Amino acid sequence: MTLVRGGAAVVAGVATFYFGGWFGGALISILIPGAFAAMLSFAASAWCGVLVARRLWRSEAPRAGAVGSGVFAQVVNGALIVGGVGFCAGFFGPMIFAPQANQGPLLGIFITGPLGVLVGAVGGFVYSQRRRPAPRPTLHRAD
């Protein structure tokens, strides 16, 4: 399980680094022209990538009633994992299998990445609902 968690953390961290670098870099370069914008964009996207990878690495299998096993935590974990895998598959796949296609990486940026985030969030929600313990029946005393 550690290998799967580590792989998911690396993939989601790399996806966050690239995605944040492009979009964050585009926004920063509008506000701050020059080489400082590139350095700031790199530092910010690397920091975000490390935070996402660290979040996924430290997450563990939820136990019923444990802290971090709530619906929100599972939705975020699912979105990060599946979104990262979808982004990397859509971005790096066309580079490997169709290097002559100059717009291949856009598949990961605009289609497989966002769809992966949505599918992962829904999957995390469904997973959290299925792992929820069954409600205990309440006993009422007859007076």
pLDDT tens digit sequence for 58-116:
876 555 555 556 888 889 889 988 988 898 899 888 888 888 888 888 888 899 989 99
Q: What is the pLDDT of residue 115?
A: 94
Average pLDDT for 21-30: 79
Q: How many residues does the chain have?
A: 143
Q: What is the pLDDT of residue 64?
A: 53
pLDDT band at 121 (very low <50, low <70, confident <90, very high): very high
Q: Whole-angstrom Cα distance, residue 75 to residue 68?
A: 11
- 100 and 77 in contact (C-beta within 8 Å)? no
CA max distance for the chain = 81
Q: What is the pLDDT of residue 69?
A: 61
Considering only residues 129 and 135, tell me which one the structure prediction assigns the higher pLDDT: 129
pLDDT band at 12 (very low <50, low <70, confident <90, very high): confident
For the residues of the chain, what is the DSSP string, one character each?
-HHHHHHHHHHHHHHHHHHHHHHHHHHHHHHS-SHHHHHHHHHHHHHHHHHHHHHHHH-----TT-TT-SHHHHHHHHHHHHHHHHHHHHHHHHHHH-TT-TTTTHHIIIIIHHHHHHHHHHHHHHHHHHHSPPPPPPP----
Q: What is the pLDDT of residue 63?
A: 57
